[in-house]
Amino acid sequence: MGSCILLVDISPLLKDPVAFRTLIDLLEDHVRASFPKIDFIVGLDSRGFLIGTPLAQRLGIGFVPVRKKGKLPGATECISYSLEYGKAELEIQSDAVEPGQKVVVVDDLLATGGTMGAACELLKRLKAEILECLVIIELKALKGSEKLNSIPFYSLLQYD
Count of CB atoms situated within 10 Å of the CB of 63: 18
67 in active site = no
Q: Which of 47, 67, 91, 132 is flagged as catalytic? A: 47
What is d(CA 34, CA 28) in angstroms, rounded to the nearest whole number?
10
**Partners of 133 in beta bridges:** 105, 153
What is d(CA 136, CA 97) in angstroms, rounded to the nearest whole number?
24
84 in active site = yes
Q: Which of 21, 32, 84, 89 is flagged as catalytic? A: 84
Query: Is 108:79 a contact under the CB 8 Å cutoff?
Result: no
The catalytic site residues sit at: 47, 84
